[in-house]
Structure 1
Amino acid sequence: MGEHYFQQPQGMLLLRCRLKRALPQKVSCRFWAVMGKLQSKLKHSTYKYSSHSSSPCSAVRSHTTGPLIFHPVFGRPDGITEERVQTKAFQEYSPAHVDTVSVVAALNSDLCVSGGKDKTVVAYNWKTGNVVKRFKGHEREITKVIVNDYYRGGLGSRSDQTSTLELSFLEQIACIHKSDQFFSASRDRMVMMWDLHGSSQPRQQFSAHAMVVTGLAVSPDSSQLCTGSRDNTLLLWDVGTGQCVERASISRNLVTHLCWVPGEPYILQTSEDKTLRLWDSRGLQVAHLFPAKQHIQTHCEVSEDGHKCISCSSGFGGEGCEATLWDLRQTRNRICEYKGHFQTVASCVFLPRALALMPVIATSSHDCRVKIWNQDTGACLFTLSLDGSGPLTSLAVGDTMSLLCASFSRGIHLLRVDHGRGLELREVAAF
């Protein structure tokens, strides 16, 4: 094919596309504005249509008057997905932190809890944009804040009134919904237990690690806390007494994340040694070692039914940078991979089934992108680019329509899923 030129009437914006015979799905595009003033007027959202397996941009459409309506096609055979580049069409709330936010998770349908480089843990009302409470006690950066779901893990039958949020497993912050208690870990080697409605001082402290604490998980009945560290150890604690009851150490097992399998006595753990381990809390022994990946495993998440889990990989330039779905049942095989990010994937979540007609997951990456994936096929359904955010550090489900995404440079982003237009994702607020 030859070269094709398109000229937009009155817009003076030229698009030049070269279609290559050898790679028919890859389209390289160059844009330039004849008049410089036109570029300064493009202040609304920009959409990209790109193949997640090829170059990040295949074509771009800009608009200046009203939204561009587009209905994503799920699992298109040509591999094309919609990418939305976020601009400043969102609300700026009062910031929760004064520096990088390391972790965020939902506490209930109105509140989230976050921690960051400013050494504080913050309870924040993300619907009103107000700080509810600040918790101070750590001497260094917060690395984890975790929330446990009281209703998961076989503690009782599901009530019809139970919210989707309460039934979703939120990994990075462990909170006991009945008592409004949660836990935080820090580079100061300490783990602290807090009470939302109590004192701003920690209710309990857990100290035994020799290096930064990088993993937290709470048992389904909230009686035990498992902590992991870069000192290659996992510790099991009695939450009531604050005493360490079990210790396990494996050489070179630098823990990156922990989460408890609902309804089971098992703990899932990712590591810098590129492996995913399943621990039996009864004696704190390794129950299963999954096949090693090619890159550091940064994060893990377990599905609501406890049958599947996701792990995330580090990487750069598209090498690595994937999420992997594993079977936690008897076979414990790898089920699917989700490839399309260009830098380390830092977080992943299973999304509520109310969001789509199919099982879906979301990932956030150091490439400033949040992606939604078809869990079964691995197809990327939607990509949102949060330009200027810096690396995205943590992702959590807020409610049936909202995601909370922590970032290096711009605090926490509130993302909204548009049900009426497929799975379009947009930023509505930042704090």
Structure 2
Amino acid sequence: MLPLSCQLKQAPPQKVLCRCWAVMGKLQSKLKHSTSKYRPDAVIEERIQTKTFQDYSPAHLDTTVFAVAALNSELCVSGGKDKTVVAYNWKTGKVVKRFKGHEREVTKVACIHKSSQFFSASRDRMVMMWDLHGSSQPRQQFSGHAMVVTGLAVSPDSTQLCTGSRDNTLLLWDVETGRYVEKATVSRNLVTHLCWVPREPYILQTSEDKTIRLWDSRGLHVAHLFPAKQHIQTYCEVSDDGQQFISCSSGFGGEGCEATLWDLRQTRNRICEYMGHFQTVASSVFLPRALALVPVIATSSHDCKVKIWNQNTGACLFTLSLDGSGPLTSLAVGDTASLLCASFSRGLHLLRVDHRGGLQLQEVASF
């Protein structure tokens, strides 16, 4: 009998090759079925998303969306490059209504709490007020800025609207009449975002001059100036109790690119910083307390990632990559377990927060 090496040499090459592939195929089949629980989390997460993901009808005619806000527990409003404001039911995946009136891109949207009314700001220097149950024409128009409007904030009683612009100016409006009652201008104060403090007469404002200002709406003057950061401040969000707020920083390559938690009470000092994004942080939200045992926040960035953080320690609890979406531009809480995320290249994303087996974030739909 010939040695094994000789047998292999004498065997036809095709048969040996087929036998090898057959053995490898069986081995791969065994690995596929027996080792799935040992795969990296990213692989498992991708497989789950593919199974449950829904591609809804697009909200906007152009996939570039700059701002999104929750109108109620199933409807959101958004604005983008197509110059329209859209009311969308993200639970059914259908457009409820489109609002046309702006002549250029929509930069910001803001909703009146427990109402069907909302506002939009645009590069056309106009602010418009809409009603979901009214006509498709704006209910009120606010004209007074000399450049693109980049900030919108509604007072807690819904009677006043504060707007900010790259013209270094803040205007305080009477919502009913559509006329501004106060005006304030600060040199080099290019407004990036505005947020009204709940149950208070104060308005937070971030700026390209790297500072955060707290305005008193009674006379529209600066009540407090927070310590300047090293990078442009892009966004601010106040907690529901009005005691804390988050600011977001621009940056690149991990330099800057952080979110910061501040105290709005006596000390008004930095409480915590959330560092881990590699490009500008564009938006942040406080997540509902029912989601986790500890307070958590979420941030979205131009690096196509949404991160969930332990609010107290600054530890990153989960990262979701929305690759191919371009810069993530805006973030909003949809309901107690859902987030809405606007992006530059793929419209809007519906994200689901799951706290079973550890806090996780999953993309379940895009529109």
Task: Report the TM-score when normalising by structure 1.
Answer: 0.75
2:65 aligned residue (78, 86, 101): 101
Partner of 1:254: 190
Asked whether the 8 Å contact 1:145–1:183 carries over to 2, the reply is yes
Distance 1:309 1:329 in 2: 10
Query: Secondary structure of the equivalent of 1:381?
Result: strand
Distance 1:66 1:140 in 2: 40
Q: 1:283 to 1:319 in 2, by over 3 A?
A: same
Structure 1 residue 276 displacement after superposition: 0.5
Counterpart of 1:205, as a letter, is Q
Distance 1:316 1:88 in 2: 34
Structure 1 residue 422 displacement after superposition: 2.0
State yes or no: 1:203 paired with 2:139: yes
Counterpart of 1:108, as a letter, is N
Distance 1:400 1:64 in 2: 21
Partner of 1:365: 301
Distance 2:224 2:47 in 1: 53
Partner of 1:224: 160
Q: Once superposed, what is the RMSD of the aligned Cα atoms? A: 1.9
Q: Which runs of 4+ in 1 moved over 4 A?
A: 63-67, 86-89
Structure 1 residue 87 displacement after superposition: 6.0
Distance 1:396 1:217 in 2: 15
Partner of 2:322: 386
Partner of 1:187: 123
Q: 1:64 to 1:350 in 2, by over 3 A?
A: closer
Identity %: 83
Query: Secondary structure of the equivalent of 1:144?
Result: strand
Counterpart of 1:307, as a letter, is Q
**Residues 42-53 of structure 1 correspond to what in structure 2 (within 5 A)?**
none
**Residues 351-362 of structure 1 correspond to what in structure 2 (within 5 A)?**
351-362=287-298
1:113 aligned residue (77, 81, 87): 77
Partner of 1:62: 43
Query: Secondary structure of the equivalent of 2:356?
Result: helix
Distance 1:62 1:342 in 2: 22
Asked whether the 8 Å contact 1:87–1:387 carries over to 2, the reply is no
Distance 1:88 1:320 in 2: 36
* Per-residue CA distance 1:356-390 (angstroms, 9 max, x = gap): 11110000000000000000000000000011111
Structure 1 residue 63 displacement after superposition: 5.5
Structure 1 residue 249 displacement after superposition: 0.2
Query: Secondary structure of the equivalent of 1:62?
Result: helix
Query: Secondary structure of the equivalent of 1:354?
Result: helix
Structure 1 residue 10 displacement after superposition: 3.8
Distance 2:45 2:343 in 1: 28
Rg bigger for which structure?
2
Q: 1:47 to 1:259 in 2, by over 3 A?
A: farther
Partner of 2:110: 146
Asked whether the 8 Å contact 1:189–1:209 carries over to 2, the reply is yes
Distance 1:63 1:225 in 2: 46
Query: Secondary structure of the equivalent of 2:61?
Result: coil
Partner of 2:13: none
Counterpart of 2:357, as a letter, is R
Structure 1 residue 90 displacement after superposition: 1.1
Q: 1:105 to 1:65 in 2, by over 3 A?
A: closer
Q: 1:270 to 1:199 in 2, by over 3 A?
A: same
Distance 2:40 2:299 in 1: 19
Query: Secondary structure of the equivalent of 1:348?
Result: strand
Q: 1:137 to 1:328 in 2, by over 3 A?
A: same
Counterpart of 1:224, as a letter, is Q
Distance 2:43 2:162 in 1: 49
Query: Secondary structure of the equivalent of 2:161?
Result: strand
Partner of 1:265: 201
Asked whether the 8 Å contact 1:405–1:415 carries over to 2, the reply is yes
* Per-residue CA distance 1:376-428 (angstroms, 9 max, x = gap): 00000000001111110000000001000000111100000112222110000
Counterpart of 1:296, as a letter, is I
Q: 1:66 to 1:187 in 2, by over 3 A?
A: closer
Partner of 1:90: 53
* Per-residue CA distance 1:320-350 (angstroms, 9 max, x = gap): 0000000000110010000000000000000
Distance 1:125 1:307 in 2: 32
Asked whether the 8 Å contact 1:324–1:336 carries over to 2, the reply is yes
Query: Secondary structure of the equivalent of 1:115?
Result: strand
Counterpart of 2:186, as a letter, is I
Distance 2:50 2:45 in 1: 12
Asked whether the 8 Å contact 1:106–1:397 carries over to 2, the reply is yes
Query: Secondary structure of the equivalent of 1:421?
Result: coil
Counterpart of 1:192, as a letter, is M
Partner of 2:8: none
Distance 1:236 1:320 in 2: 32
Distance 2:94 2:162 in 1: 32
Alignment: residue pair count: 333
Structure 2 stretches lacking a partner, 5+ long: 1-25, 33-38
Counterpart of 2:43, as a letter, is S
State yes or no: 1:338 paired with 2:274: yes
Structure 1 residue 89 displacement after superposition: 5.2
2:310 aligned residue (374, 377, 390): 374
Query: Secondary structure of the equivalent of 2:314?
Result: coil
